[in-house]
Chains A and B, each alone.
Chain A
Amino acid sequence: MKKSKSTDAVLVTAYLQGDESALSTLITRHKQRIYSFIYSKVFDRDVAEDVFQDTFIKVINSLKRGKYNEEGKFLPWVMRISHNLVIDHFRKNNRMPKFENNSDFNIFSVLSDNSLNAENTIIKGQVASDVRRLVDELPDDQKQVLMMRIYKDMSFKEISLQTGVSINTALGRMRYALINLRKVIDKHNIVLTD
């Protein structure tokens, strides 16, 4: 009973003289305030537990090494150590607190990944190669216009200049190329969707 009424300074002195139970009293007296303070910053029970433990390991080391002076008060000193360790914790975690999904809100419901998954990437590649094979079956003049328009992204004006035919002829060849492609696709029931 006597010990629980002693001031922190008396307990610290007793601890420095080898009374281990004084430390127990100090921890019991202040654990709630220190732990709540840490938890209010980190919002994670496990992290709070770790920071609390590290705080008192520092406290014990400093006391046993005789680095603590009675100028300051015990609790503010411990609070400052825990505050510094909380800062160290956030620094270690890339300077940002960790995000954890909970039942109310999941970050992936608003963040989407537009890249294709492995299966769709394979399907897309197969469709592209199927179309390419069908294009190879077209008559040369149609194939030439279609390749320039679709794969090289040239305008019909550029196509007409390069192939030496009029724009209308190039447009006509493109039209027939697409009609022929559709015919082949329909005829062989080729599925070109992903």
Chain B
Amino acid sequence: MQKMYSRSSPSGQVDKNMVPKDQTVRFLLNYSKALRVFEYQSIKFETLLN
């Protein structure tokens, strides 16, 4: 399969009011809640608690 060296032109201006899906934001907040960073003898450990 040959490579496509062309790019579709953006149709019109980019809508400045675009937001990510709620699902993505929710995932990030849950990820943040689950992530713990522990420090032991100047070494940092990450744990993800589900």
Contact = CB atoms under 8 A, between A and B. Distances in A.
A2 interface: no
Contacts of A139: none
Contacts of B25: 24, 27-28, 31
Given A27-B25, A31-B25, A43-B8, A65 B44 contact: yes
Q: How large is the interface on A (under 10, 10 to 19, 20 to 34, 35 or more residues)?
A: 20 to 34
Given A65-B44, A96-B3, A27 B29 contact: yes
Interface residues of B, number: 30
Interface stretch (A98-106, A128-136, A162-170): A98-106
Interface in B1-44: 2-8, 10-11, 14-21, 24-25, 27-29, 31-33, 35-37, 44
Nearest to A52: B20
B19 to A, nearest CB: 5
